[in-house]
């Protein structure tokens, strides 16, 4: 795809891959992907299992490095800087590009401590400042009203949906510019899923969101842009409205209408 013509580049891209390929050992997981993620946009990445969508998401904060042996080719630009370079500070990158996973993974500590964990690591020790950050992050994650009276209770006592929103609050507490969501609602019931979707729509005024989902209706409901991947390749990317009503590519149409997969 011509990156100049990609709709997401109509605004400033925060993240951009250029001819990005990735191998896990001999497995060629990504093949020449060009994708731009626009600032304060919600970009959904869809595709069948094994298409490389989660791998692509994990490229943006180099999380794939945790699955060696991994080899990259091409470039991943964050504000124009290639994060594949040896000088990249991965801790700093992952603070600015946060991530939430499919299974909620709260730390075995209190709700407050979970959210304050990141800010404390950054050196914030003032109790008042931490309280401000925790309340703000929990509000942004649409969880504050449900937990404000039990902040010192264990996070493990929360429901699955609440735990996932807590993980989003924890990610938001360090004020990331980008939030990567890897199938954040796939283990949740429809009500909990709807809460996650609503909060994603709320936080996009301040955070750029990239979300991997195998729920196409979810992609259609929450995202501004959608990218469709198949066999490690980006098949089509464009405004969600267009992709779900009049996709350009036959492969996209066949996938989203359930004619294969």
Partner 1 sequence: MERHFHHDLHTLQDRLGEMAGRVETALSKALEAMNRRDTRLAREVVDEDQAIDRIELEVERRCLDFLGLQQPVARDLRFLVASIRVSNYLERMGDHAVNLAQSAQKLADLPPGKGMTEVMAMGERTMRMLRDAVSAWLAHDGPLAKRVCESDAEIDTFKAQIFAKFSSEMVHDPGIVPQSLELVLASRNLERVADLATNVAEETVFVADARVIKHHADEIAEKSSGREPAGR
Residue numbers of the site for partner 1 (CB under 8 A)?
216-217, 220, 242, 244-248, 250, 252-253, 256-261
Least Cβ distance, residue 181 to partner 1 (angstroms): 21
Least Cβ distance, residue 185 to partner 1 (angstroms): 16
Least Cβ distance, residue 16 to partner 1 (angstroms): 23
225, two tokens: 């842009």
Considering the complex, state which of residue 4 and residue 246 has its C-beta at the smaller distance from partner 1: 246
Considering the complex, state which of residue 153 and residue 250 has its C-beta at the smaller distance from partner 1: 250
Handedness of CA 156, 157, 161, 162 (dihedral sign): negative
Considering the complex, state which of residue 49 and residue 246 has its C-beta at the smaller distance from partner 1: 246
Q: How far apart are CA 113 and CA 147, in angstroms?
A: 13
Are the beta carbons of 98 and 180 closer than 8 angstroms?
yes
- The conformation of residue 41, written as its DSSP 8-state character, comes to -
Least Cβ distance, residue 147 to partner 1 (angstroms): 33
Considering the complex, state which of residue 28 and residue 248 has its C-beta at the smaller distance from partner 1: 248
Residue 126 burial class via C-beta count within 10 angstroms: exposed 0-12, middle 13-18, buried 19 and up: exposed
Count Cα neighbours of 165 within 13 Å in the Cβ-side half-sphere: 29
Number of H helices, E strands in the chain: 10, 10
Least Cβ distance, residue 256 to partner 1 (angstroms): 5
Which residues contact residue 202 at a Cβ distance below 8 angstroms, ignoring those fewer than 6 apart?
140, 142
Are the beta carbons of 200 and 194 closer than 8 angstroms?
no
Least Cβ distance, residue 193 to partner 1 (angstroms): 15
Q: How far apart are CA 208 and CA 22, in angstroms?
A: 24
């Amino acid at each position: 795809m011509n990156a100049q013509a990609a709709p997401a580049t109509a605004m400033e891209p925060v993240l951009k891959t250029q001819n990005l390929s990735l191998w896990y050992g001999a497995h060629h997981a990504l093949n020449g992907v060009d994708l731009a993620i626009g600032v304060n946009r919600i970009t959904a990445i869809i595709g069948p299992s094994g298409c490389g969508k989660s791998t692509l998401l994990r490229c943006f904060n180099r999380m794939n490095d945790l699955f060696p042996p991994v080899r990259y080719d091409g470039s991943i630009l964050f504000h124009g800087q290639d994060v594949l370079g040896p000088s990249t500070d991965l801790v700093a990158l992952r603070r600015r590009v946060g991530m939430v996973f499919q299974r909620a993974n709260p730390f075995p500590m209190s709700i407050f401590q979970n959210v304050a964990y990141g800010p404390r690591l950054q050196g914030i020790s003032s109790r008042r400042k931490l309280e401000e950050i925790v309340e703000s992050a929990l509000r942004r994650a649409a969880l504050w009203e449900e937990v404000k009276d039990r902040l010192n209770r264990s996070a493990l006592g929360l429901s699955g949906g609440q735990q996932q929103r807590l993980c989003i609050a924890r990610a938001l507490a360090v004020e990331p510019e980008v939030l990567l969501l890897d199938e954040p609602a796939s283990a949740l019931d429809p009500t909990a899923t709807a809460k996650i979707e609503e909060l994603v729509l709320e936080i996009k005024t301040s955070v750029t969101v990239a979300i991997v989902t195998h729920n196409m209706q979810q992609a259609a409901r929450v995202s501004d842009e959608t990218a469709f991947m198949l066999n490690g390749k980006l098949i089509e990317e464009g405004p969600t409205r267009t992709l779900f009503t009049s996709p350009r590519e036959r492969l996209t149409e066949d996938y989203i209408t359930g004619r294969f997969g």
